[in-house]
C-alpha cells in the first residue's frame, strides 16, 4: 500500500465485492430459481445505486484519509484510475451470474452422465 491509487482501488473493490458476494452465494445455491436470482441481482444493483451519491463518496473519502494517514500516503483523487475502476467493477458485477450458470451446467451434465 505504497500509493494512494492502490489504496483507493483496494477499498473501492472491497466495498463493491461486499455487496456482490451475497449475490454470488445466492446464485450458486442449488435451490435458487431464475426469479430469485433476478430479484437478488436487482437488489444488489439498487444498493449500489444508492451508494452512488456525494454523501456516500464523502464518507468513503474520509475513510480513505483515515486509513492513509498512518502510512504517510498523500491523498489525491486518482482521476485516471476511475475509468479503469469502472471497467473492473462492471466485470465484477457480471462474475456471479457467469460462475453460477457454468456451475449449474456442470451439475446438470453430471446428473445426465450418472443416469
50-100 tens-digit pLDDT: 888 888 888 888 888 888 887 777 777 666 666 666 777 677 666 665 666
Are the beta carbons of 101 and 32 closer than 8 angstroms?
no
Q: Which residue in this structure is represented by grid cell 480513505?
A: 64
Can you say how many angstroms the Cα of residue 79 is from the centroid of all Cα atoms in its chain? 20
Number of domains in the chain: 1
Domain around 13: 4-114
How confident is the model over 4-10, as a mean pLDDT? Answer: 79
Nearest to 4 by CA among 79, 74, 83, 63: 74
| Residue 5 burial (10 A CB sphere; 0-12, 13-18, 19+) | middle
Question: 99 CB contacts (<8 Å, ≥6 apart)?
Answer: 24, 27, 28
| Residue 2 clears pLDDT 70, i.e. is over it | no
| pTM for this model (two decimals) | 0.59
Q: What is the structure's pLDDT at 111?
A: 65
Amino acid at each position: 500500500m505504497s500509493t494512494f491509487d492502490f489504496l483507493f482501488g483496494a477499498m473501492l473493490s472491497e466495498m463493491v465485492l461486499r455487496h456482490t458476494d451475497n449475490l454470488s452465494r445466492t446464485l450458486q445455491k442449488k435451490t435458487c430459481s431464475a426469479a430469485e436470482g433476478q430479484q437478488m441481482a436487482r437488489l444488489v444493483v439498487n444498493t449500489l445505486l444508492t451508494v452512488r451519491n456525494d454523501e456516500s463518496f464523502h464518507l468513503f473519502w474520509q475513510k480513505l484519509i483515515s486509513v492513509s494517514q498512518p502510512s504517510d500516503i498523500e491523498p489525491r483523487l486518482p482521476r485516471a484510475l476511475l475509468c479503469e475502476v469502472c471497467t473492473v467493477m462492471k466485470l465484477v458485477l457480471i462474475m456471479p451470474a457467469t460462475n453460477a450458470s457454468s456451475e449449474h451446467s456442470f451439475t446438470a451434465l453430471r446428473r445426465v452422465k450418472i443416469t
